[in-house]
Amino acid sequence: MTIQKIFATLDGFWAGQGCLLAEAYEIEVGAGTMAPDTFLRSLGPEPWNVAYVQPCRRPADSRYGENPNRLGRYFQYQVIMKPSPQQFQDLAVASIQQLGLDAHEHDIRFVEDDWESPTLGASGVGWEIWLDGMEICQYTYFQQVGGLQCRPVAVELTYGPERLAMYLQGVEDYRDLQWSDDVSYGELRFEEERQYSHYNLEIADIDMLAKMFEMCEAEARRVNEAGYPLPAYDYVLKCSHLFNLLDARGAISVSERTGMIVRVRNLASAVARTHVARREELGFPLLGEQAEA
Amino acid sequence: MAEPTADLLFEIGVEEIPAPAVLPALAQLDKLLTDGLAEARLAHGQVRTFGTPRRLTIIVSDVALRQVDLAEEVKGPPAAAAFDADGNPTKAAQGFAAGKGLSVDDLEVRETDRGAYIFAQVTEPGRAALAVLPELLERAIASLTFPKTMRWGSLDFRFARPIRWLLALLGPDVVPVEVARLHSDRVTWGHRFLSDGPIAIAEPSEYLAKLEDAHVIADHRRRLQMIEERAAAAATEAGGRARLDPDLVEEVSFMVEYPTALVGHFDSRYLALPADVIVTVMSGHQRYFAVENPDGSLLPLFIAIRNGDEQGLDTVRKGNERVIEPRLADAEFYLTEDMRTPLPDRLESLQRVTYIEGLGSLYDKTERLEAIVHWLCAQVRQVEEAHQTHAARAARLSKCDLNTNMIGDTKLAKLQGRVGAEYARRSGEPEEVALAIGEQYRPISAADMPPATTPGRLVSLADKIDHVAACFRIGLRPTGSADPHALRRAAQGIVRIILDARWRIDLPEFIMLALGNLPENQNAKAIPEEQAAAQIHEFLLARLEAELDTRGVGYDLARAVLSAPSPDLLDAYDRALALRNIRSSDPEDFERVIMAAERTANICRGPKAELALTLDADALAEEHEVALYEAFEAAGAALESALAGPTPDYEAAWAAPAGMCGAIDTFFEEVMVMAEDEAVRLNRLALLAAIDDLLLRLLDVQQIVIEGEA
């Protein structure tokens, strides 16, 4: 099963469960959770069911494209359902079986793995989903996002499509994955990994990144205080990515590290509060009939 | 005729609950139901609990179908208020009777110690168990506690993981329970993949068998045994022996409902990795068991426990082999990278790693550890020159593994020290140095042993006292159950190492040394050195008290010993154990001495605290006070000789005050302490104070609790 077939299959499955099919967010994020469709939409009382593919950047994982299992830019398939439905665990399993995995022939398990994102002030309770000992999904009930309690609780299912595809296609190196029937992952993305690895690990200008971090932090705060949490959040995401770049360049000492994480978290929490307040001003439009009930 | 009974079955179906949470939850469930049934006046038989990742189950045999009737007598107002002068009931009597559902004629008048009162005999007929159990079970679920709970959906209800079904049966009947918007039924679910659809349970006795048909071994004890047997058999077949770490076996038993063992292979080139690393890579994340040769060396094999049967086992094996390979490759990469810089060459780089904000770098810390090691060697005296050299070297290199790639991997971080030991070996350090580096964090838990080597003990003690001192100095003492810096564990380690090594270390000096070594800091929460020293002293004594408790020293004796000033922990420990033996071998004699001594203490402590009492032996005149003085002098000499020398003999020391006992009793009978003449009075008090001081060399008698005393 090609990567694009995996995406199409999951799209079909989750659309069938009432999920909106969204597109990836266009600002660099370290995980699908950081996209506003998860971070901001999981806040507040409005129902929200969505599925999307999110490219993710983790500069510190750059390996010049040479490591068969590690990439500085990779993909996540992200599903959010709020409030979390009673049968969600069964849906998660069914979606995996849709990919052509016969559960009788494999060992599919839910293994405790609670999640926490210090930069987002977010935490949840959940599992890794194992396929024959390999983590292929992360399954999490959000408890707190942006420092705010989640009521109702959103559940998140994040697939690692590269890992799943390597298993399904029986290949040992991401480069050998078929993205489509005609084009391999390596053909598509090896050169990109190579160039970005050089940039992330060697070339990126540390002083410039540090200045940009300061500027983006100030802009996020200013725009949020002006009452525009959505554009403000873009700058929070930029701060997070700049932090990751500085980290990959080895430019952050142990003591600075905690301080910078706290700075990003404070911004994210401030934006989360402003965003919920704004949705409330709007009368939580997605509540629809529920609001009147 | 026997009351009719039926078995009670209660199963809470959940999304996979964390393995460590299952057994404690079952123990709570057992207690909650046992207590609840007793309180509900429902007789019952055996209570059994069963747990899997997806269910918490309790089966109570032979639960009475009806509560025992409750008959009780309720006291009402005084008879004088209940009846008027003519003997007619008042409003008070009528109200009381009506409140109990009785008429005034049903009331009785009876005499009590406080006069005549009216009484009502109230009987509450037993209700059907089916009517009582719903609330009892609902309350049990709500009362279960977990280290971590969560919310889900739109509910405010909290539990370890989402509850997905409830099965509650009393015999053939469903007990209607409602929790978290779920209603109980007679339905359970089998293995997630090896069973089809819901399973109706007609009555509790068929529960275990029906689940087994559905590929769920509900009894965790049986699953544990199956894992041990199957893993052992699989290893034997592969030509080795399974390393069945009991903690891991238990954890795995709560991760599967139907265990099947499989043997996987990895490339034998990874055997060049430190064995600790291989085992941790396998057991840590993947929960595989290692397989070893008869000599204990590892084979390039692992045993995985799959949740399911034999179907597709080969596919599952290949999948697991694919997972372990990159993890071992990562470790191999770390090792290769790390070995480019020999361990000692990493020392300088520790200057850039902060230990605790405001307390310098890890490099500074290793310098402090070296200084503490040298001080300890001087204190302990009998340390050989070579041990001292090795300990100092190990202290210097102790933190060098913390900035290696290997320890930088969070999944391998717990190998700190052990990786350092292996790297030290590979960097050509003496074996003793490597061992000491490897032992520096021990004991890492109550179940772990303290370091076995002298250099290991020295480095571990230094590391722990430095850590405790640093944290207390900047106000990070543990509060309540929160102990994020693991200070209790460190303090417990200090106590255990000292007792294990039988070292005499002057405790106040040890603490002051550690505090004095710390860098000047501007931390806002910092507290003065003397205050920190007092807190640490108290903290360490509390750990010793806990240690004494595990040795059967009663809490009162422990406190009595620790209240008497002590030069070092070992002394207090030996004294407590000796007194424990004396007390248990002849409790009556022990109590006799304590009571005499306590009488002495009670009378002299007040004046002793306020006045400067000086004993003038020549001024003692009465026969019995002179006799007491002579007994005191003899006891003092005996005590001194018993406590002299490097190994005090506390049993002999105890004989000294014991010998004074008769003289004390006679003194109190025959002599008036509070004499009119002030000089006489003060001199007698001074004699008693001297005796009290003598006893304080052993214990503070006022802390001892004697049975029957108020």
Same domain? For B482 and B421 the reply is yes
Same domain? For B115 and B186 the reply is no
DSSP string, B365-425: HHHHHHHHHHHHHHHH----HHHHHHHHHHHHHTTGGGGSHHHHSTTTGGGTTHHHHHHHH
Taking each helix axis from N to C terminus, what angle separates B487-501 and B454-473, rounded to the nearest 10 degrees? 150
Interchain pair A255, B354: CB under 8 A = yes
Looking at residue B107, what is its pLDDT?
Answer: 84
- Strand A48-57 to strand A20-21: parallel, antiparallel, or no bridges (unpaired)? parallel
Average pLDDT over residues B609-621: 82
Tell me which chain A residue has its CA closest to the CA of residue B152.
Answer: A153
Same domain? For B493 and B525 the reply is yes
Taking each helix axis from N to C terminus, what angle separates B313-339 and B275-284, rounded to the nearest 10 degrees? 140
Same domain? For B397 and B435 the reply is yes
Residues of A in contact with B320 (CB under 8 A): 132-134
Boundary of a domain, candidates B189, B213, B237: B213
Same domain? For B284 and B254 the reply is yes
| Residue found by looking up tokens 């047997």 in the block | B229
Average pLDDT over residues A156-175: 95
Looking at residue B560, what is its pLDDT?
Answer: 92
Interchain pair A134, B315: CB under 8 A = no
d(C-alpha A133, C-alpha A139), whole Å: 16
Choose among B241, B236, B331, B333: nearest CA to B286: B331
Residue B311 has pLDDT above 50, yes or no: yes
Boundary of a domain, candidates B299, B329, B359: B329
Residues of A in contact with B156 (CB under 8 A): 151
Give the residue from A61, A64, A112 with the most B CB atoms within 10 Å of its CB, the best one to mutate.
Answer: A112
**Closest approach of B237 to chain A, Cα-based (Å):** 22
Contacts of A274 (CB under 8 A, 6+ apart): A224, A227, A229, A232
B4-15, pLDDT tens digit by residue?
999 999 999 999
Stated length of chain A: 293
Q: B161 at the A interface (CB within 8 A)?
A: yes
Give the residue from B157, B179, B193, B303 with the most A CB atoms within 10 Å of its CB, the best one to mutate.
Answer: B193
DSSP E strands in A225-291: the ranges are none
For residue B527, what pLDDT band results from cuts at 50, 70 and 90? confident
**For chain B, how big is the Rg over CA atoms in Å?**
35
Residue B710 has pLDDT above 60, yes or no: no
A47-93, pLDDT tens digit by residue?
999 999 999 999 999 989 998 888 999 999 999 999 999 999 999 99
Residues of B in contact with A101 (CB under 8 A): none
Interchain pair A132, B315: CB under 8 A = yes
Is residue A62 a contact partner of residue A193, using CB atoms and an 8 Å limit? Answer: yes
Interchain pair B312, A114: CB under 8 A = no
Interchain pair B354, A111: CB under 8 A = no
Domain count, chain B: 5
Interchain pair B318, A108: CB under 8 A = no
Is residue B302 a contact partner of residue B288, using CB atoms and an 8 Å limit? Answer: yes
Is residue B4 a contact partner of residue B129, using CB atoms and an 8 Å limit? Answer: no
Same domain? For B355 and B501 the reply is yes
Same domain? For B486 and B607 the reply is no
Tell me which chain B residue has its CA closest to the CA of residue A110.
Answer: B16
CATH number of the domain encompassing residue B585: 1.10.730
Boundary of a domain, candidates B197, B213, B229: B213
Q: B589 at the A interface (CB within 8 A)?
A: no
Cβ within 8 Å of A, B 8-47: 15-16, 18-19
Looking at residue A289, what is its pLDDT?
Answer: 62
Lowest-confidence segment of A103-107, B197-201, B664-668 by average pLDDT: B664-668
Tell me which chain A residue has its CA closest to the CA of residue B155.
Answer: A152
Is residue B379 a contact partner of residue B501, using CB atoms and an 8 Å limit? Answer: no
Looking at residue A151, what is its pLDDT?
Answer: 94
Position B518 in a domain: yes
Q: B148 at the A interface (CB within 8 A)?
A: yes
d(C-alpha B26, C-alpha B49), whole Å: 6
Looking at residue B81, what is its pLDDT?
Answer: 85
**Closest approach of A250 to chain B, Cα-based (Å):** 12
SS3 of residue A175 by DSSP = helix
What's the gap between Cα A202 and its chain centre? Answer: 26
Residues of A in contact with B53 (CB under 8 A): 110
Q: Which two tokens stand for residue A160?
A: 């690692």
d(C-alpha B218, C-alpha B206), whole Å: 12
Q: Which of B153, B286, B320 sits opposite A152 (nearest CB)?
A: B153
SS3 of residue A237 by DSSP = helix
Position B564 in a domain: no
Give the residue from A87, A101, A132, A151 with the most B CB atoms within 10 Å of its CB, the best one to mutate.
Answer: A132
Residue A273 has pLDDT above 90, yes or no: yes
Interchain pair B148, A114: CB under 8 A = yes
Same domain? For B587 and B538 the reply is no
Stated length of chain B: 710
Q: Which two tokens stand for residue B514?
A: 């550690």
Cβ within 8 Å of A, B 268-307: 286, 304, 306-307
Is residue B443 a contact partner of residue B364, using CB atoms and an 8 Å limit? Answer: no
d(C-alpha B334, C-alpha B411), whole Å: 13
| Residue found by looking up tokens 């293995």 in the block | B191
**Closest approach of A223 to chain B, Cα-based (Å):** 32
Residue B103 has pLDDT above 60, yes or no: yes
SS3 of residue A278 by DSSP = helix
d(C-alpha B89, C-alpha B87), whole Å: 7
Helix (H) or strand (E) holding A13: helix A3-16
| Residue found by looking up tokens 């049966």 in the block | B169
Residue B707 has pLDDT above 80, yes or no: no
Interchain pair A85, B18: CB under 8 A = no
Position B562 in a domain: no
Lowest-confidence segment of B119-128, B249-258, B503-512 by average pLDDT: B119-128
**Closest approach of B438 to chain A, Cα-based (Å):** 25
d(C-alpha B227, C-alpha B250), whole Å: 9
- Phi, psi angle pair for B196, to nearest 5°: -110, 115
**Closest approach of B24 to chain A, Cα-based (Å):** 17
Give the residue from A115, A125, A172 with the most B CB atoms within 10 Å of its CB, the best one to mutate.
Answer: A125
d(C-alpha B96, C-alpha B118), whole Å: 9
Residue A292 has pLDDT above 70, yes or no: no
Helix (H) or strand (E) holding A12: helix A3-16
- Phi, psi angle pair for A258, to nearest 5°: -60, -45
**The model's pTM:** 0.82
Q: Which two tokens stand for residue B385?
A: 């020159």
Interchain pair A83, B311: CB under 8 A = no
B20-62, pLDDT tens digit by residue?
999 999 999 999 999 999 999 999 999 999 999 999 999 999 9
Q: B197 at the A interface (CB within 8 A)?
A: no
**Closest approach of A152 to chain B, Cα-based (Å):** 4
Position B708 in a domain: no
Position B566 in a domain: no
Q: B353 at the A interface (CB within 8 A)?
A: yes
Tell me which chain B residue has its CA closest to the CA of residue A135.
Answer: B323
- Phi, psi angle pair for A183, to nearest 5°: -120, 135
Same domain? For B167 and B253 the reply is no
Same domain? For B526 and B609 the reply is no
Looking at residue B342, what is its pLDDT?
Answer: 93
Residues of B in contact with A259 (CB under 8 A): none
Q: Burial-class residue B345 by CB neighbours within 10 Å (0-12, 13-18, 19+).
A: exposed
**Closest approach of B12 to chain A, Cα-based (Å):** 15
Contacts of A228 (CB under 8 A, 6+ apart): none
Beta bridge partners of B305: B261
- Strand B5-14 to strand B163-170: parallel, antiparallel, or no bridges (unpaired)? antiparallel
Interchain pair A132, B318: CB under 8 A = yes
Position B565 in a domain: no
- Strand A20-21 to strand A134-145: parallel, antiparallel, or no bridges (unpaired)? unpaired
Compute the count of residue pairs across chains A and B with CB atoms less than 8 Å apart.
100
Is residue B268 a contact partner of residue B300, using CB atoms and an 8 Å limit? Answer: yes
- Strand A134-145 to strand A122-131: parallel, antiparallel, or no bridges (unpaired)? antiparallel
Is residue B698 a contact partner of residue B650, using CB atoms and an 8 Å limit? Answer: yes
**Closest approach of B520 to chain A, Cα-based (Å):** 18
Same domain? For B467 and B359 the reply is yes
Residues of A in contact with B323 (CB under 8 A): 132-134
Q: B326 at the A interface (CB within 8 A)?
A: yes
Q: Which two tokens stand for residue A19?
A: 């999920």
Same domain? For B10 and B88 the reply is no
d(C-alpha A124, C-alpha B435), whole Å: 41
Q: B166 at the A interface (CB within 8 A)?
A: no
Interchain pair A68, B326: CB under 8 A = yes
Q: Which domain holds residue B421?
A: 345-550
Q: B131 at the A interface (CB within 8 A)?
A: no
Question: Which domains does chain A show, CATH number per domain?
Answer: 3-201 (3.30.930.10), 205-288 (1.20.58.180)
Q: Which two tokens stand for residue B78?
A: 């005084």
Residues of B in contact with A68 (CB under 8 A): 326
Number of H helices, E strands in chain A: 9, 9
Interchain pair A152, B154: CB under 8 A = yes
Residue B697 has pLDDT above 90, yes or no: no
B478-499, pLDDT tens digit by residue?
887 778 888 999 999 999 999 9
Position B669 in a domain: yes
Residues of B in contact with A114 (CB under 8 A): 148
CATH number of the domain encompassing residue B158: 3.30.70
Position B72 in a domain: no
Give the residue from B152, B399, B403, B411 with the most A CB atoms within 10 Å of its CB, the best one to mutate.
Answer: B152
For residue A293, what pLDDT band results from cuts at 50, 70 and 90? very low
Residues of B in contact with A84 (CB under 8 A): 152-153, 162
CATH number of the domain encompassing residue B384: 1.10.3210
A216-243, pLDDT tens digit by residue?
999 999 999 999 999 999 999 999 999 9
